Amino acid sequence: MSAPSLLTVILNWRTPEMTLKAAAAAAREMAGIDGQIVIVDNDSGDGSLEAMTADIAEAEWAEGRVEVVQSGRNGGFGAGNNFGIRHGLARRDYDFVYILNSDAFPDAGSITALLDHMAQMPTCGFAGSYIHGEDNEPHLTAFRFHSIGSELEGAARVGLISRTLHSHIVPLPIPAETTRVDWLAGASMMMRREVLEQIGLFDETFFLYFEETDLCLRAQRAGWHTDYVRSSSVTHIGSVSTGMKTWQRMPQYWFDSRLHYFRKNHGGATAFAATSAHVLGSCLWKLRLVIGGKPKRDPDHFLRDLITHYIKSLFVRTQREPSKIPTLTVRKEASS
């Protein structure tokens, strides 16, 4: 049996130097692996495309295995990665696809560990890495699927509620060993090509957030599982392109993505119940702020924005458009 082939896709939006650093780390870890790296500039409009193209042409580490392409529009995380996946698979029928954040840097042996795991586990559709910061502190990247219970627990943050709804808490404790999970963050995720051919690519209705959750849920419903591979370690800065760490207020697209996820996968009644549970939980938390002097944690006007967004969605047509899930049809333009 021939060694598995790998397509790596890295999405850039206005972080060209960091993206090239991520690509260099990926190229180092792909030494000896039959594969290619595609860097997708998501219509940055700041000279990123030209700068990265020029640097790649001169970089010894690229060795002709790295290509920089322009998506032509900033359609979000899923759309940009879809563009790179389709671009790479149009040229060659790779066995696996690996998506890597522009602010994530594979540690020694990380990509090989994912590739080996996927090759040894034929029913594994997606596999992700143990993610840690530059300070070596682990990041929460392994999760349960969202539910009505998780919306209440996550918003309320009350000990009694969390203990009662323990099996619904979305973030899982950091796994100490390789294990099966519901979904993984997309900072470092490997995908089996045949799974993408079966279920399609990222749903491009999601601009940002919930797209990985949706993809893993679709895979699970099609009979594939998702694994957290502890031996694959990746250094991640986090929120560099999105600016999430400095948000004063939740952006519209977060509310759009959350509601689309529930409506699409669980129906309108569950979406209403989940939103109501979140509102109830947020009210309980606000009560604790008043009574117990708990610190403020939610962005400004979060509860009002959540309620307003849901009410508006009942009347705004764009919130009810069907999912935009591109199918994947492998077309070889050239063999290698």
The pLDDT value recorded for residue 298 is 85
In the block, residue with structure tokens 């900033």: 74
Q: How far apart are CA 216 and CA 183, in angstroms?
A: 6
Q: What pLDDT does 257 receive?
A: 97
Contact 198, 191 (CB under 8 A): no
pLDDT over 50 at 335, yes or no: no
The domain 5-138+174-240: what is its CATH number? 3.90.550.10
Q: Is the pLDDT of residue 50 over 90?
A: yes
List, for residues 80-91, the tens digit of each pLDDT value: 999 999 999 999
Q: Considering the chain, what is the average pLDDT of its residues?
A: 93
Contact between residue 190 and residue 98 where contact means Cβ atoms under 8 Å apart: yes
Phi, psi of 104 (to 5 degrees): -125, 135
Nearest to 200 by CA among 315, 39, 334, 324: 324
Give the per-residue pLDDT at 10.
98
Examine the pLDDT at 247 and tell me if it is beyond 70: no
Calculate mean pLDDT across residues 203-214: 97
Going by pLDDT thresholds of 50, 70 and 90, the confidence category of residue 317 is: low
Express each pLDDT in 260-272 by its tens digit.
999 999 999 999 9
Domain ranges of the chain: 5-138+174-240, 247-320
Please determine, for residue 332, whether its predicted confidence score (pLDDT) is greater than 60: no
